[in-house]
Structure 1
Amino acid sequence: MGEMFACAGCDCPLTVPLSQVALPVLAHQSYGRERWLPPLMAAGTYAVDPEPWGPPGRPWSELGEGEAVARGLFAPVAFPSAGAWGTFVMAPGDACNTVLTPESSRSACCGVDGGEGPNLRCASCGAPVGTRIDDCDRWQEVRLAREAVRRIPVDGHADRALDWAALLQETNGTPPIAPGGFWDSRWEATAGEALAHLVAASGGEAVAVPDGLIAEMFRRPLGRLLPGPPPAKTLALAGPGLPVRDPAPDLLLVPRHPQTGEVWQPPGAAAAVPLSADVWIHLAFHNDRLLIPATGRLPELVLRDEPLPLRPRQLFEPDSGVFLHTLARLPAVRAPWLRRIYDRVSGSGPYPGRL
């Protein structure tokens, strides 16, 4: 059974029927004006943001340690939101019967962002119900305020969570290179989140990263953030459909279910580091090796390399904003060695730097 949302004041329908999924890691990513980003959520889905969102922001100095920890923050965050908790996030095309009030988005650059409060009103009664976002540095989304709407069950609308076997059959994964030769935004955000978990789980020790795309994603940033050789911990890919390694590596990159948000749990004592399922599936089951050039007629069953695969224009860099957002919410960041890394990347330490 799915759900739709209606105005809490007049019961006017505000969305089409939707199915709930996990909030994508992309929700914590912004790019700047070099890219216009598509909708955050897939059509027909919505997610609940468990954190406060929107204006006003509060200076970190006003939050006591107890309040910060209660909000899940374990390291300083510049002007954390004091807005509404539990907003409902969906694609703009799934909203209906709303009226945009652009005067509530004067702080935006090239679109609207709700920086001055809700900019969507119910078309029936005029009550403020949420925020439309389509500014140049943001993923496009509509956020409905929890107190302004109510959820209505919809019979006959499928809302079934796939098991891992079905998910692997229905999902091909996301290629790492977008048209134009840029690294795909989803890979950068996923790597930023995973890198925070990797660094925390390393205990401050160097990590040996296997060759291939995983090395492209993590070897250089891990080398900058953690001590040099010899590596004390090992890293590998693990998850449904992959053979179990013996002996098991210390750290395992595993998928997070896109619908439930649950992280696949490996057997044994290895630390599980979550990756978005679409990125993990590509890493696990796609062959990214470059084929050897050949002349003449190719033998039967030999793969052709036409057209040539997309190659990136620049070295891969995990998203530093997602990295900091994730690390600030891990209790492990209170350890002095990890806090020093956090401060350096955020620019508040004595030696600010990139990932």
Structure 2
Amino acid sequence: MADVFVCAGCGAGLTASLTRVALPARTHQRYGHDLLPALMEQGTYAVDPEPYGPPWRLWDTLGADEAAARGVFAPVPSLSFGPPGAILVAPGDTRGTVLIPERCDGYCLGLDGRAGPNLACTHCGRAVATRIDDCTLWQAVVLDPTAVHRIPSGGPDPTADWAELIRDRRSAPPIEPTGGWSPHWEAAVAVALAHLLAASGGNRVGVPAGLLETAFGRALDELLPTGPAAKTLALAGPGLPTPAADIVLVPQHPQTGEAWQSPSGTAAAVPLAADVWMYLAFHPDRRLVPAPGTLPDGILRDDPLPQHPWGAFHPDRRVLLRTLSRLPAVRERRLRAIHDRLGGRPS
């Protein structure tokens, strides 16, 4: 279903016609010290179920029961007590808004929304949204769910079935053109890693060689006990044979966010962003091997060459901590110890 968001005060249109998709894994990520691109793809929106924006309360002022009632089960620096259900859109998909000058605060190179909604409806002046464009933050406009209304603007937008998604095989490459690892991969793997640590039961997990080991192996080796692997990890999902593994990485539907359901259901399923899963599942892992002789005249060399990153892969620590703190399993001693250990690190 395509939707348009309008001002709750005067009914003026605030967005283009948009289609809802799953909340990106990188939504709450902070990355580097550069200006990042838009969080949402043009023509799409996502809904964040958690509270957003001020007022904020420090962890020390909250009791464990009050935090748990808000879906947080381990210490975090602070919690938002703003309204839940914020709508995230690409800045280019907004219409009819103007900045509120006295709320244009930021940390470094732009706006970070610390003072609350900084965009007003041009027709009635009502504060309706927050523009985010500071360094380290994915650019977005966050519509205040209490200040806007959703108006269906077209017929039903059918949800693609898994067979259609597999035919398209829309994937996200793990390496940026500059040679660095993709921040989207670092965030998506961090989210899956939190669920994987919970599914491990505190046991060492064996990971197949290749890109899957590159993405998860180092972190699992560091965070889980040493010794022989007691459980195994594998990819599972549409278009793949059913693996003989204790834990499987399955794709999340890019429109609904729901994890693929295994017909067998015997292994513990860990959700992973669909575009990352697609690359892991279907992208050919091209490896160079020695070849005798030289190339004949007129034959060109392999171009472009396979990309190689300039450093080791590390899941995003902040995203990992955030995800762990919102898993009820983090109240178990072993997982809480991992959370606290990560929380005490400078990087």
Equivalent pairs, count: 342
Shift of 1:332: 0.6
Q: Work out the CA distance in 2 between the residues paired with 1:144 and 1:278.
A: 26
SS of residue in 2 equivalent to 1:5? strand
Shift of 1:150: 0.6
Percent identity over the alignment is 56
Shift of 1:290: 1.6
Describe the superposition over 1:50-97 as per-residue Cα deviations: whole angstroms up to 9, x where unpaired. Answer: 001112220112222222111111111111111221111110110010
Does the 8 Å contact 2:6/2:12 carry over to 1? yes
Does the 8 Å contact 1:129/1:144 carry over to 2? yes
Partner of 1:6: 6
SS of residue in 2 equivalent to 1:146? coil
Does the 8 Å contact 1:119/1:131 carry over to 2? yes
Partner of 2:135: 136
* Higher fraction of strand: 2
Q: Work out the CA distance in 2 between the residues paired with 1:275 and 1:90.
A: 22
TM-score, length basis structure 2: 0.95
SS of residue in 2 equivalent to 1:111? coil
Describe the superposition over 1:137-191 as per-residue Cα deviations: whole angstroms up to 9, x where unpaired. Answer: 10010111111011111124x6221111111222331111001101011110011
C-alpha change, 1:63 and 1:218, in structure 2 (3 Å) is: same
Residues 147-226 of structure 1 mapped to structure 2, 5 A cutoff: 147-156=146-155, 159-226=157-224
The worse-fitting range, judged by mean Cα deviation, of 303-312 and 279-288 is 303-312
Letter in 1 for 2:102: E
C-alpha change, 1:335 and 1:304, in structure 2 (3 Å) is: farther
Describe the superposition over 1:75-130 as per-residue Cα deviations: whole angstroms up to 9, x where unpaired. Answer: 11111111221111110110010001243132331011111111000010111001
Letter in 1 for 2:323: T
Q: Work out the CA distance in 1 between the residues paired with 2:20 and 2:212.
A: 30
Does the 8 Å contact 2:25/2:188 carry over to 1? yes
Partner of 2:258: 262
SS of residue in 1 equivalent to 2:50? coil
**1:330 equivalenced with 2:321 (yes/no):** no
Partner of 2:41: 42
Residues 1-355 of structure 1 mapped to structure 2, 5 A cutoff: 1-33=1-33, 35-156=34-155, 159-245=157-243, 248-266=244-262, 267-294=264-291, 295-297=293-295, 305-347=302-344, 352=345
Q: Work out the CA distance in 1 between the residues paired with 2:99 and 2:28.
A: 24
Letter in 1 for 2:282: F
Shift of 1:218: 1.0
SS of residue in 2 equivalent to 1:130? strand
Q: Work out the CA distance in 1 between the residues paired with 2:265 and 2:86.
A: 37
Shift of 1:9: 0.6
Describe the superposition over 1:260-280 as per-residue Cα deviations: whole angstroms up to 9, x where unpaired. Answer: 000012223211111110010
C-alpha change, 1:353 and 1:106, in structure 2 (3 Å) is: closer
Q: Work out the CA distance in 2 between the residues paired with 1:56 and 1:227.
A: 40
Letter in 1 for 2:42: A
Letter in 2 for 1:213: L
The worse-fitting range, judged by mean Cα deviation, of 289-298 and 159-168 is 289-298
Does the 8 Å contact 2:87/2:142 carry over to 1? yes
Q: Work out the CA distance in 1 between the residues paired with 2:206 and 2:59.
A: 36
SS of residue in 1 equivalent to 2:214? helix
Does the 8 Å contact 2:37/2:138 carry over to 1? yes
Does the 8 Å contact 2:120/2:128 carry over to 1? yes
Structure 2: 5+ residue stretches without partners: none
